[in-house]
Amino acid sequence: MKKLILLGLLISSPVYADIKHSITSSVKLEAVAAGTSADKIGSSYSISGNNITTVNSDSAATVGGFGDVTSGVPAITFPTASQATSGSAFSFSQSYLEGDATPNAVPSVGSVPNFSDITSTDAASVGTADIGLSNHSITLTPGTGTGVTLTGQFVTDLTIE
């Protein structure tokens, strides 16, 4: 019996294992560029009604609307409304949104033109912001910089197969 146990130990299969290990460090300093984004809002007009009569200032039947355009904004004509049949139910609604005027020049960074939706950012200033990487030791110093993003990353990976 002792011989069988000894024989079993001698013919056992070997264990194979691969071990992989890596260490990675990185640092990044990003500074934003100057930029402006603007959305020019257009004009809109709507009118609706039931059992009404609409007229303009010349007593002509009209529903109003846009006229000549100056600096990107149209002139608007609003009609007057009166009940068409006295004593009957009626409804009347009109709305107007005046759009943004078109500027004469391109806006400069930091200035706010006459647009309804605008975002303007100045260029970053690194100032005394600093990054360091030595033997996987990371240092990030924000300093006096503006518009700066500092990123440090330390990754260790161990794989046993």
Average pLDDT, the chain: 84
pTM over 0.75, yes/no: no
Structure tokens at 77: 């004509």
Say whether both 48 and 91 belong to one domain.
Answer: yes
Residue-wise pLDDT for 48-77, tens only, equals 999 998 887 777 888 888 889 888 889 888
Say whether both 103 and 59 belong to one domain.
Answer: yes
110 found inside a domain: yes
Say whether both 92 and 148 belong to one domain.
Answer: no
Residue 36, pLDDT score: 78
- The parent domain of residue 133 ranges over 16-33+123-160
User: Other CB atoms closer than 10 Å to residue 78's CB: what's the count?
Assistant: 15
Say whether both 29 and 81 belong to one domain.
Answer: no
3 found inside a domain: no
Say whether both 100 and 152 belong to one domain.
Answer: no
Confidence category of residue 95, pLDDT binned at 50, 70, 90: very high
N- to C-terminal Cα separation, the chain = 36
**Closest Cα to residue 143, out of 132, 134, 157, 133?**
132
CA distance to 68, 127, 138, 148, per residue, from 145 (Å): 50, 4, 19, 6
**Closest Cα to residue 75, out of 56, 48, 60?**
56
Say whether both 82 and 144 belong to one domain.
Answer: no
* Number of domains into which the chain is organized: 2
Say whether both 75 and 51 belong to one domain.
Answer: yes
Residue 129 φ then ψ, to 5°: -60, 140
69 found inside a domain: yes
**Closest Cα to residue 146, out of 119, 113, 123, 115?**
123
